């Protein structure tokens, strides 16, 4: 058979009745508090449940479905790659992986890339790289990585230790050593912590922060704060690591969140939107701190032809269609609409904040209304949203969202507030 010949895929019979939440719960571990909704198909910024009801999807797999659902470019890339070469070992050169690395380097401050399967794995890789750099280049015996309170970096043992939220760490001790926490956007506290650790002979090797805290309540980084951190890192030889898992790949209105801050990190991580919904993660760094050697780190599936090929198609479309302009315009439209709703419900909403198409509506801490209440009410109005903590409602639609779809979402949200 010629390599150019498309394989005819046999049709697969669909179940006569949907797999219900009760069926699901009988077999799947209860690691999520799921909403009672079974989704079965999607197109663009819309999804449909098993009862045929349509929803505007402003969750996008939690800031993951960059091009929405069933985008023709992704369908073509998936089909082409699965029929060509979907997986080989990293013992061999993989051209799709190399091409993806090239695109990422050419569109960022990075010089090198390492590929894995998720944001947690990318952050784990960054932690390992920082520790090896501390030992082999800086000569630090007990390196410490500073992270922020209210941060979120993943669910592995190292990344929940890096995560500055005790609720994620409960009952998983002993946690990994070598981390300390500081308030976000508070430069005086950070400088005091560095001085204290240096006096304790536990030297700071890296500072790991999100350019915008997503799970921590959609809190954008302050430019002056990050620019001072960059100066401190340069003065002391500390590595600056930025977690761009949620805010990167165009979601902020720029390719990378660090561009909103006017700085360059030494190391940063990407996942979520990188593959548009296909699992992939990436560690990116400047060449001076690329101290990994063969055997230091690896991933069986990381950067395989399938994941890398599809991610490359997402990256290329992001550039070719100038989706950043849409992110900026739709983000301004969305924030303006959210602020109008906040003004109409000033007893319940105290702030709207965010960048591009990652935005948060902050609820009044003194009233009983929670983000979960708003999410459920919006769902009843045909709009899918996601909490970012108990008092922040998060809005992260696909980057292809249209002007009319933003208007429809705002109308649904207004109805939801009227209902609650």
Catalytic residues: 152, 243, 272
Residues 6+ apart with CB under 8 A from 156: 120, 121, 124
269's tokens: 């991580």
Q: What are phi and psi of 262, to 5 degrees?
A: 75, 30
Beta carbons within 10 angstroms of residue 39's beta carbon? 14
Helices (H), 64-220: 72-82, 95-106, 119-133, 157-162, 166-169, 187-199
Element housing 363 (H / E): strand 358-363
Short-list 363, 360, 332, 333, CA closest to 345: 363
Task: Classify 352 as helix, strand or coil.
Answer: strand
Give the single-character DSSP code of 256. S
User: By three-state DSSP, how is residue 324 classified?
Assistant: helix
> How far is 315 from 317, CA to CA, in rounded Å?
6
Residue in this structure with the two tokens 């960022």, named with its chain if needed: 108
Decide: 85 and 305 in contact? Cβ < 8 Å: yes
Question: Which residues are bridge partners to 241 per DSSP?
Answer: 208, 267
Question: 340 and 413 in contact (C-beta within 8 Å)?
Answer: no
Q: What is the spatial distance between Cα 61 and Cα 386, in angstroms, rounded to a whole number? A: 10
- Which secondary structure element, helix H or strand E, spans residue 21, and what is its range? helix 21-27
The CA R_g of the chain, rounded to the nearest whole Å, is 22
């Amino acid at each position: 058979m010629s390599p150019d010949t498309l394989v005819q895929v046999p049709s697969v019979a669909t179940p006569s009745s949907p797999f219900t939440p009760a069926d699901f719960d009988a077999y799947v571990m209860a690691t999520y508090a799921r909403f009672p909704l079974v989704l079965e198909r999607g197109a663009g910024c819309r999804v449909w449940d098993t009862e045929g009801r349509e929803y505007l999807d402003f969750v996008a797999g939690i800031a993951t479905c960059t091009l929405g659902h069933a985008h023709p470019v992704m369908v073509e890339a998936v089909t082409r790659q699965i029929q060509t070469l979907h997986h080989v070992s990293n013992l061999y050169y993989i051209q799709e992986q190399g091409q993806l690395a090239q695109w990422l380097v050419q569109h960022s401050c990075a010089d090198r890339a390492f590929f894995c399967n998720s944001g947690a794995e990318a952050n784990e890789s960054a932690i390992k790289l920082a520790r090896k750099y501390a030992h082999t280049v800086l000569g630090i015996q007990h390196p410490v990585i500073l992270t922020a309170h209210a941060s979120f970096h993943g669910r592995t043992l190292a990344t929940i230790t890096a995560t500055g939220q005790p609720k994620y760490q409960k009952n998983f001790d002993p946690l990994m050593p070598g981390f300390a926490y500081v308030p976000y956007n508070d430069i005086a506290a950070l400088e005091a912590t560095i001085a204290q650790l240096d006096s304790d002979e536990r030297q700071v090797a890296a500072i790991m922060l999100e350019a915008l805290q997503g799970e921590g309540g959609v809190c954008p980084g302050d430019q002056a704060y990050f620019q001072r951190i960059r100066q401190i890192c340069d003065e002391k030889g500390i590595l600056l690591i930025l977690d761009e898992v949620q805010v990167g790949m165009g979601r902020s209105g720029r390719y990378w969140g660090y561009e909103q801050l006017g700085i360059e990190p030494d190391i940063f991580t990407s996942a979520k939107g990188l593959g548009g919904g296909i699992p992939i993660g990436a560690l990116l760094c400047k060449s001076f701190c690329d101290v990994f050697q063969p055997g230091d780190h690896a991933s069986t599936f990381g950067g395989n032809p399938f994941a890398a090929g599809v991610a490359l198609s997402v990256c290329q479309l992001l550039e070719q269609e100038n989706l950043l302009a849409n992110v900026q315009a739709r983000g301004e439209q969305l924030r303006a609409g959210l602020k109008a709703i906040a003004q109409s419900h000033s007893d319940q909403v105290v702030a709207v904040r965010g960048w591009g198409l990652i935005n948060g509506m902050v609820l009044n801490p003194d009233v009983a209304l929670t983000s979960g209440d708003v999410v459920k009410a919006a769902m009843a109005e045909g709009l899918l949203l996601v909490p970012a903590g108990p008092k922040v409602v998060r809005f992260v639609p696909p980057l292809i969202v249209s002007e009319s779809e933003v208007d429809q979402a705002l109308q649904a949200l207004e109805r939801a507030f009227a209902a609650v």
